[in-house]
Amino acid sequence: EDKVVQSPLSLVVHEGDTVTLNCSYEVTNFRSLLWYKQEKKAPTFLFMLTSSGIEKKSGRLSSILDKKELFSILNITATQTGDSAVYLCAVIAGGTSYGKLTFGQGTILTVHP
Amino acid sequence: GAVVSQHPSWVICKSGTSVKIECRSLDFQATTMFWYRQFPKQSLMLMATSNEGSKATYEQGVEKDKFLINHASLTLSTLTVTSAHPEDSSFYICSARAGGGMGNQPQHFGDGTRLSIL
């Protein structure tokens, strides 16, 4: 069975801190790993990673994938209160063409002023 | 781009009622749509995968007669919760994915529907 595990499950920091969120996976026939941010409603797409070692960056957020060690990290620098959210990692795997996502449990990030 | 609209955002209804939730891709054609359920403080649980013009594929443990899915066009999928009971109360979220191929494109999510059955 495909498995995606995120750590830590929750994290509390102060504005300006840098955080690193972790995602490890055990899946059959890996295709891609995705990061989403979920606030009060549904998840919003952040990054999609397919190749090892290539950093993807968007403002203060960046992410990288290691396909040998089967994990990814999401970095957020100079955190702001607006970064408070649940960060979800998900993997597309398997032989189906439907692109089904398997989600991790999520990391709850709280940024205090 | 890649906007997914879900309607309604909140439903409160009596036990025994059937409830229909719509999911639309507004600026792209979605060959595949997905329906998830999310319990408080938990991650998303996939209920079913829906491809335009064909029957939905349900995950293990999801009753297909209870959760009817229709994906009649490339921009619209509907989930009908039939004869809803209080245990069906949850946050239901749809997502849509463009294109065919090997399915290696991101899913984009609607804003979710909070369903409360009294």
pLDDT in tens, B2-47: 889 999 999 999 999 999 999 999 988 888 899 999 988 888 899 9
Residue A98: pLDDT band by 50, 70, 90 thresholds? low
B32/A98 Cβ within 8 A: yes
pLDDT over 70 at A96, yes or no: no
- Give the gyration radius of chain A's Cα atoms: 14
pLDDT over 90 at A91, yes or no: yes
Q: Choose from A100, A107, A110 for mutation: most chain B CBs within 10 A.
A: A100
- Please name which of A4, A16, A2 lies closest in space to residue A72, comparing C-alpha atoms: A4
Q: Is some CB atom of chain B closer than 8 A to the CB atom of A32?
A: yes
Q: Quick check: helix, strand or coil at residue A82?
A: helix
A45/B106 Cβ within 8 A: yes
pLDDT over 70 at A62, yes or no: yes
How confident is the prediction for chain B on average, in pLDDT? 90
pLDDT over 90 at A35, yes or no: yes
**C-alpha angle B48-A27-A71 in degrees, rounded to nearest 5:** 120
Tell me how crowded residue A36 is: count the other CB atoms within 10 A of its CB: 25
Q: Which residue has the tokens 């994906």?
A: B71
Predicted local confidence at residue B2, as pLDDT: 80
A42/B104 Cβ within 8 A: no
Predicted local confidence at residue B99, as pLDDT: 66
A44/B112 Cβ within 8 A: no
Q: Choose from B44, B49, B51, B97 for mutation: most chain A CBs within 10 A.
A: B44
Residue B98: pLDDT band by 50, 70, 90 thresholds? confident
How confident is the prediction for chain A on average, in pLDDT? 92
B42/A105 Cβ within 8 A: yes
B43/A105 Cβ within 8 A: yes
Predicted local confidence at residue A42, as pLDDT: 82
Q: Are A110 and A21 in contact (CB under 8 A)?
A: no
Mean pLDDT of A62-78: 96
Nearest beta carbon to residue A45 from set B43, B108, B110 = B108
- The residue that leads in pLDDT, B16 or A94, is B16
pLDDT over 70 at B67, yes or no: yes
Predicted local confidence at residue B101, as pLDDT: 53
Nearest C-alpha of chain B: how many angstroms from A61?
18
Nearest beta carbon to residue B102 from set A43, A97, A104 = A97
**Contact residues, chain A, for B2 at CB < 8 Å:** 45
Mean pLDDT of B88-98: 92
Predicted local confidence at residue B100, as pLDDT: 56
- DSSP E strands, A1-113: 3-7, 10-14, 19-26, 30-38, 44-49, 56-58, 61-66, 71-76, 85-93, 101-103, 107-112
